[in-house]
Structure 1
């Protein structure tokens, strides 16, 4: 018996179009199943409230996509990575950085149109307040396919040398990758953290995977990735890190960083993992027991968020 709903729907899709977009919407469909309850961080609730600053920023992005025309240059790149230092590095190399309404890295230089804005609003409203079938239906799949054609035309108007992404898991990332592949534009997935898992279901959709260090690269190779497609680029925040610095190792000032006992989407297409919400509490009690045995009277706690 099949145990994973989205995999079952993909395998039994009635049309090739449905199969394609069910696969693209995998993470977002998972949210209807797993993303619930007060144990989910407020920043990742399906129906989380946006700040005034976020609302204004989103309106600026939409306005830019509808009414402002990004400048053209001989060398353009498309990016969903919004870090200022990343943009400055791209600019210093002589490239003009564009972004899209799908995953805007800025409210300037945004490629988009009315159809794309409408589709994204419908999807986001459905995820926040709707139900599973609001985005898992033929009508919405056809709407996505029209937007795919629109994005294809928008990218064709620019000589784009590469597409830079911060993930390949989300629907918007997969749609950009799909369009870029049609246009033979190389795609690059920049890891924005230490990987929680190493599986070919994740970080395998782009042409190249950009990682922080050689150890991470080797872990991906061990998981079956093509070594030639993995590039070590380092981490700009730790460019001046003292590799041979003596690190403190004592119980004078203990910081407890727990693992997460939740997940709001299934990373792989395999049988879903059962997440026990009590594990984080059990973990803290066990840490407390060990520290008390060491006669530690005080420790700091730092909550984590896993995306």
Structure 2
């Protein structure tokens, strides 16, 4: 259930052949703003398909047998895993079907289709959108004989996402730096699971914080209670990629083993973080991708005199939506 360090390294060795190394940016502006000694940002928004998701998606696809790869896969996603899986499928010649909520951002739907994936939309009404999309993906798998993949609750997805952590650790070492604290977004938990394990194995002194939108802090509550819990369906967040109501079993096990602590951020703080990233870091981040930066800037954790690493997970946002969020910051 919990990938070991060798597992993470094996996955990274494979996925690094199909992904690009995203930079590690040091920001004196963030250090001044927060009182930290040094602040580094890992912009996975600059990864292929606009987010970290391609790391885990590509590794998971590589684990398919030749027969299963020929049948094709189906998964549900609000956008970033959809694009990562579609991009990986295109690179490996594996047919991909993605089930997306009808209210997923149009830019993400269009980008997913541009990688050759078949996109199926679901209307969830008053129900939790991930539940409806998950049901439809299971139906399609049964009807069409496709291999059903989960967007985050899979040890192999966790292992693949861990490449972002291994890469950041190598980059920090190259800058003669070691992170005292790490902030990373949480949706279902695949990214925090993999990144947290990488730091747990190699830099156990680093304090690990997972960041979720207010009202969707299923991982944070689960970690606090020591077991997986589901939060009630609440008001939607602008962080559309982080609106999971409960963490996956595999990501929760990884995050718990690594000692992750949960934080929650408001939509207002996320908008401010998007604006800061654009003006000071010259980065375009989607709301979900700016959640970890929002937690750092909001100040719930004292970072004075510390070295901080922020994982900015994605940048898949339309110009219209980006402008609207920035104007409302």
Shared fold per TM-score greater than 0.5: no
* TM-score of the two chains, using structure 2 as the length reference: 0.27
More helix by share: 2
Q: Normalized against structure 1, the TM-score is what?
A: 0.28
The higher-RCO structure (CA 8 Å, 6+ apart) is: 2
Q: Which has the larger radius of gyration?
A: 1
Structure with the largest fraction of strand: 2
